[in-house]
Amino acid sequence: MKIIFTSLLSLGITCSALAQLQVTNPGFENWGNASPGNANEPTSWYSNKSGSATAQIGPQTCFKDSTIKHGGNYSVRVETVTTGIPFNVIVNGNVTTGVINAPSLSKSDGYIGTQNYDDTSGDVRRMAFTGRPDSVVGWYQYNQGGHAAEQGKLRFIFHTGQYYDPETPTTYHPACLSNKIGDASFTTPASDVATWTRFSVPVTYSDTSAPAYIMINITSSADQLTTVDGSKLWVDDLEMIYNPLPNKVTNVNVAALNVNVYSYGRTLFADCHNADGAVADISVFDMTGRLLLTRSLEQHKLNTVALPDMAAGIYLYKVSSNGYQKTGKFVIE
């Protein structure tokens, strides 16, 4: 058996990062939502047709495409269209995990939120997601509809509580930046892309906490105030990417502890020869955070912890001393 270690920023971050969580219905294979929603929306995703009351006045902008698809049976296609007479408003093609809110016929008032501003008490739509991926990848095609400036856009917002895009507070929603954990965004080139093309964007984190939800907004018009219609964006096979486990020991010492943790077979070794201060203990957890064992460590010696009954899988360790902690993960193969 072989055990591999790497140090991490915190035990909480470790649990989230290794969960390898993916979003719901990432390949857009399932369609049809119960109320709120309709058959023209991917399951767990929403369009203007299930948005706020004014948003629903607009024409359909989200479509199930069985012809242009990257994998499986379908992709999602969003189109920017015109409402026609009497309003003649350009409606940006959009599909989202939240609610498309149109407080008025003015495009500048529109936003996507986790809450329907027409129903602040009951209509909350948030896709649960507690992972911390390193990047987001997916596949797309794009048609500008004959307008050289048009671009499509995908945005992935990892957050807690409620969230709104754009974030700038308005009469219709409050500030929300304090709820943001991370953000990733991809804008298509200002050109037609007629073959399936892979995109990859890093997630930039502004908080070390685990998110509770993810808001994903996909639009065929990156410019909210666009005055032209006809652009089309196809998206398929979204995937969250997590850094793989390293293939060698990569211990990083914490100065206040200076304890090296490594392994051989089914034994953990905690080298405390150079430890600064009294080392308290080492604990081992499974990936749900359940404590499996705790052992006291002695200073100025090599401590060993036997793990005879551990099943193959990923585990976590934590060394504690005088208010300091060193955490890491290991794999039993």
Token pair 């934590």 is found at: 318
* 190 has a pLDDT exceeding 60: yes
Question: Strand order of the sheet with strand 260-264?
Answer: 260-264, 267-271, 302-306
Rounded alpha-carbon distances, angstroms, from residue 238 to 118, 156, 158, 235, 246: 31, 11, 15, 8, 24
The pLDDT of residue 243 is above 60: yes
**pLDDT reading at 2 higher than 60:** no
- pLDDT tens-digit map of 154-181: 999 999 999 999 999 988 999 999 999 9
Specify the pLDDT at position 121. Answer: 72
The pTM of the full predicted model, rounded to 2 decimals, is 0.69
62 pLDDT higher than 70: yes
* CATH node for 21-241: 2.60.120.890
Domain ranges of the chain: 3-14+246-332, 21-241
Q: Which of 157, 201, 208, 160 is nearest to 183 (CA)?
A: 157
> Is the CB of residue 80 less than 8 Å from the CB of residue 221?
yes
Residue 162 tokens read as 């409620």
* CATH class assigned to 3-14+246-332: mainly beta
Percentages (nearest 5) of helix, strand, coil residues in the chain: 5, 40, 50
Q: Is the pLDDT of residue 47 over 80?
A: yes
DSSP labels, 164-218 = EES-S-BTTB---GGGEEEEEEEE--SS-EEEEEEEEEEPEES-SSPPSEEEEEE
Closest CA to 46 of 142, 137, 152, 123: 123
**How confident is the model at residue 316, as a pLDDT?**
83
Q: Which letter does DSSP use for residue 22 in this model?
A: -
Helix (H, G, I), strand (E, B) or coil at 18: helix
Sheet-wide strand order for 99-101 = 99-101, 111-113, 164-165
d(CA 166, CA 156) in angstroms, rounded, equals 12
One-letter amino acid at 197 equals T
